[in-house]
Structures are given as C-alpha cells and as structure tokens.
Amino acid sequence: MSAQPADARARAADPKKVHIADTAITRQNWYKHVNWLNVTFIIGIPVFGCIQALFVPLQLKTAIWAVIYYFFTGLGITAGYHRLWAHCSYSATLPLRIWLAAVGGGAVEGSIRWWARDHRAHHRYTDTEKDPYSVRKGLLYSHLGWMVMKQNPKRIGRTDISDLNEDPVVVWQHRNYIKVVLAMGLAVPMLVAGLGWGDWMGGFVYAGILRIFFVQQATFCVNSLAHWLGDQPFDDRNSPRDHVITALVTLGEGYHNFHHEFPSDYRNAIEWHQYDPTKWTIWAWKQLGLAYDLKKFRANEIEKGRVQQLQKKIDQKRAKLDWGTPLDQLPVMEWDDYVEQAKNGRGLIAIAGVIHDVTDFIKDHPGGKAMINSGIGKDATAMFNGGVYYHSNAAHNLLSTMRVGVIRGGCEVEIWKRAQKENPEYVRDAAGHRVIRAGEQPTKIPEPIPTADAA
Ligand SMILES: [Zn+2]
Ligand SMILES: [Zn+2]
C-alpha cells in the first residue's frame, strides 16, 4: 500500500495545475496515471517474493514463524490502525500503542496517520465520490485500483485527525515510516528466522515479503469483499456487508455492515459464535491491563437498527402481494343495485358492506357450493363471521382479493373510511400502503357471531 504521506500529497496538489487523475487516460499518458511507488509496494515486491520462493525452500519453523508474524502484523492493522486509531473504539496504554505502531508498520500499508485519515473519509463519505475506495467504482478499484492509479487528494473527503496529531506515537511513526517498514516489515522477520534457526533467506522471503503480501491482500478485502459479499442486517442503503468468509480472511473485520453502523464499537462481530479474533485480542489486552475503555453500543440501539431493516424487508415482500383493491378505490353501489345484479346471475356477496364477486370461486369453496350460494345477494356478514362458519384469517385474506365494490351506507365501511381520512397516520408501510395485519381485514368482525343464519 501507499507509503506516500499526506503532506507530500498535499504539496503535489498545486491549486492551479490540473491533477493527472482528472485527465483522461490515453496511450501517451497512461504511465503518468499510475502510482509507481504503490505499484512497487503492492505488486512489484510480492512478484519478486514469489520468484524468490521458487529458489528458497520453506522450512517448517519458518512457516510457523511467518504465520505468527502474519497475525502480529495483521492485528497491528485491525486492532491498531483500524479500531484504535481510526475509530477510537478503545484506549491503549503507551507500551501497547508502541507495539501496535511497530507491527502495524510491518504490514506495509502506509503510516497510521495516512491510513486512518483515508479510512475516516471512507466512513464519512461511503460510496460517494469522496470515498477514497468507493466500491461503486468497481470491485477491483476498491481492492487495488485506488492505490495503483493516482487519485486527486483534493477529491477525497475531509476528515478531522487532530486527535492523531496529538498522539506522539502516531506522529513519530509517520515521520519515520520508511525506517519502520524496513525494520518491522523485513529486518525483524529475517532476524528471527536467521538468528533462531539459521534460515535468513527463508525469513526474508516467507515471513517478510510473502507475509506482507498476504496481510496487504487481506486488508484490501475489507474495502472490496466486505462491500460486495454478504448480508445487510442493519442497513441496506449503503454497500457494507456481513460475511463469514470476509471475517475469516480479515481477522474478524468481515461484519462490515455492523461496523459501518456502529464504527465506535470495539467489536465487529457481536455474536459469540462469529469469528472476530481482533475483538478477542483487544479483550485479552484489557484483562492484562494494556487496553481500557472498550466501547460498545447499547444492545437496544443495535436491535433497533436490526428491526428497522427487517421492517423494510417485510414492506418489500408485502408490496409484492395482492391485498385486493383498497376500499377507497372501489366503486360505491346501491343496495338495490347489488341485489339486482346478484339476481341476474352475478355471484356477488356483501360482507361488512364490501361487495365481493365470487362467481369463479363458487366451485372451489371448501364449505361447498350450497353454503356460498346461500349468501349471494344477501348481507352475509354474520354468516361469514361465525353465524354459519367462523372463517379463518386466510379466508378473509382471500376474500379481499375478490372485492369489487362497497355498498352505500354499508356502515362499517363508511366508518372505517371516515376514520382513515381523519387519521392520516393509519398504519402504513414505507411505500405508503396500508398494513393489513392478521385479523384486521375490513370483513372481519372481532367477536364471532354465535347465532345461526343472521342473514
Ligand atoms: Zn467499509
Ligand atoms: Zn472502519
């Protein structure tokens, strides 16, 4: 990742000059669009490492050391750069901050100051032009493209990093970044393998270069995969998603929908069974007295977000169903007219003032043809609501799809329609459609009517 500090970028941005990123890529100028320093760090060196690996045999001890150092440097990014410095989701003692600044530097992803600044812009301007690694510009762009191609720093959203400028560890690491990279990225992994069991080259290639490559790619997945793969249990208006695969790859940073909703929570996974080793490590540091003030969002607030998102999904499902023509859109019919049409062979049934055309349903009526025929042309409110049979919720739902009109003076309907006009806050979903809950259909009489044949 970029080792280019924010000051250098600011200096490069001469206000009068058009930034190269704002010009079209052509056959003549394409190489000017490429950020060659970053290409060296994130593509050139890994390729060199892969070629070296062909000639350097991998020893078991070196392999184990490379994996251990992968976790150290990876946690430097996730627990240090990300959750501590970018989001202040907990506080760390000085020794822990020095450790995290060192191992985080060993991941070769830029200084804390630069990394946290861009990351805060990513959270503040997610999916917009000001998001430095917006997934809206493509999966590959959010993974690598934003570093490989030059970006106009002025286009990245502004963020406040005054707190970081006050942390001497952050400032020191930023000023000495190249030294930190050389020491922690390459020298330490090589020294441990070399002094420990004589495998200098293995330490350099496997625990150094290739380990850097894997940590970098894992972190980049948070910007790409975590905005592309998985569920959105808390909010689906932006791209962040939750997925166990992303979590496995990124030391627990994969519950990214949660993270973008509750960024100051030191956890990414809130369920005990979800994989979040970064959270477990921070918790362990707390037990050791190295970390304190671990921040958590109230469970009540988290559940509110979850319920609202569920509600939205339900609204979308509800909107796809046929709930029958809304009552206020049905034509009004005179009672005599209704009786007349029924006599002339149209299978009309009035229930609670709503007229239903059951002509095509008579043969399918579970209670038999005779029963349904006996209600045609009459007020079948009582029959339907217990007089003959106390119809199920499903029956009321089905009935509503057969509505064709309302009877003038059909009192329940009139009252209901009036109540609805007077009370605009009648329960409606996000799209403005009335929510019909079980047992709330207009044809439903709350108490079953016990006497037979009230019609
Ligand atoms: Zn994100
Ligand atoms: Zn974040």
- What are the DSSP calls for 346-385, one per residue? --EEEETTEEEE-TTTGGG-TT-HHHHHTTTTSB-HHHHB
d(CA 217, CA 223): 10
Under DSSP, is residue 288 helix (H, G, I), strand (E, B) or coil?
Answer: coil
| Confidence tier at 441 by pLDDT (50, 70, 90) | confident
Structure pTM? 0.82
Q: What's the mean pLDDT in 110-124? A: 95
- Report yes or no: 207 and 130 within 8 Å, Cβ to Cβ: no
| Confidence tier at 5 by pLDDT (50, 70, 90) | low
Q: For strand 332-333 and strand 403-407, is the pairing parallel, antiparallel, or unpaired?
A: parallel
Q: What's the mean pLDDT in 137-163? A: 89
- Report yes or no: 252 and 277 within 8 Å, Cβ to Cβ: yes
d(CA 188, CA 438): 67
Task: Tell me: pLDDT of 262 over 60.
Answer: yes
Q: Which ligand is nearest to the CA of 225?
A: 1
Task: Tell me: pLDDT of 245 over 90.
Answer: yes
Cα 83 to middle of ligand 2, angstroms: 7
d(CA 250, CA 276): 9
At residue 453, the pLDDT reads 47
Task: Tell me: pLDDT of 231 over 50.
Answer: yes
Exposed e or buried b per residue across 43-73, where buried means at least 16 C-beta atoms within 10 angstroms of its C-beta: eebbeebeebeeebeebebbeebbeebbebb
Which of 32-41, 95-104, 116-125 has the lowest average pLDDT? 32-41
Cα 161 to middle of ligand 1, angstroms: 18
Which tokens in the block code for residue 146?
């934003």
Cα 122 to middle of ligand 1, angstroms: 7
Task: For residue 291, give the H/E element and its range.
Answer: strand 291-292
Cα 119 to middle of ligand 1, angstroms: 8
- Report yes or no: 235 and 309 within 8 Å, Cβ to Cβ: yes
Task: Tell me: pLDDT of 56 over 70.
Answer: yes
pLDDT, tens digit, for every residue of 6-46? 555 555 555 567 887 778 888 888 888 899 988 988 899 89
d(CA 206, CA 96): 26
Cα 139 to middle of ligand 1, angstroms: 12
Long-range contacts of 431-439 (CB under 8 A, 24+ apart): 431/315, 431/319, 433/315, 433/318, 433/319, 433/323, 434/326, 435/318, 436/323, 436/397, 436/400, 438/393, 439/393, 439/396
- Report yes or no: 87 and 282 within 8 Å, Cβ to Cβ: no
Q: Is 294 exposed, middle or buried (0-12, 13-18, 19+ CB in 10 A)?
A: middle
Cα 241 to middle of ligand 1, angstroms: 9
CB atoms within 10 A of CB 324: 21
pLDDT, tens digit, for every residue of 365-379? 888 888 888 889 988
Cα 142 to middle of ligand 1, angstroms: 10
At residue 455, the pLDDT reads 41
At residue 389, the pLDDT reads 74
Q: Which ligand is nearest to the CA of 77?
A: 2
The vertex-341 CA angle with 337 and 347, nearest 5°, equals 130
CB atoms within 10 A of CB 411: 10
- Identify the top-confidence range among 24-28, 278-282, 424-428, 436-440: 278-282
Q: Which ligand is nearest to the CA of 82?
A: 2
| Confidence tier at 153 by pLDDT (50, 70, 90) | confident
More confident residue, 384 or 167: 167
Q: Which ligand is nearest to the CA of 278?
A: 2
Cα 78 to middle of ligand 2, angstroms: 9
Which of 197-206, 355-364, 427-436 has the lowest average pLDDT? 427-436
Cα 288 to middle of ligand 1, angstroms: 30
DSSP helix, strand, coil percent of the chain (3-state; round to 5): 55, 5, 40
Cα 148 to middle of ligand 1, angstroms: 19
Chain centroid offset of residue 323 CA: 31
First to last CA, the chain: 80
d(CA 388, CA 406): 23
At residue 157, the pLDDT reads 86
Q: Which ligand is nearest to the CA of 142?
A: 1
At residue 12, the pLDDT reads 55
Cα 222 to middle of ligand 1, angstroms: 6
Which tokens in the block code for residue 358?
């059951």
Q: What is the mean pLDDT of the chain?
A: 88
The percentage of the chain sitting over the pLDDT mark of 70, rounded to a whole number, equals: 90
At residue 452, the pLDDT reads 47
Domain 327-422 belongs in CATH node 3.10.120.10: yes
| Confidence tier at 454 by pLDDT (50, 70, 90) | very low
Task: Tell me: pLDDT of 253 over 60.
Answer: yes
d(CA 182, CA 190): 11
At residue 278, the pLDDT reads 97
Task: Tell me: pLDDT of 291 over 60.
Answer: yes
What DSSP assignment string belongs to 153-169?
A: GGGSPP---HHHHT-HH
Q: Which ligand is nearest to the CA of 115?
A: 2
The domain segmentation of the chain, as residue ranges, is 14-308, 327-422
pLDDT, tens digit, for every residue of 173-202? 999 999 999 999 999 999 999 999 999 999
At residue 151, the pLDDT reads 85
Rg (CA), the chain: 33
Q: What's the mean pLDDT in 298-309? A: 93
More confident residue, 113 or 326: 113
Q: What's the mean pLDDT in 200-226? A: 95
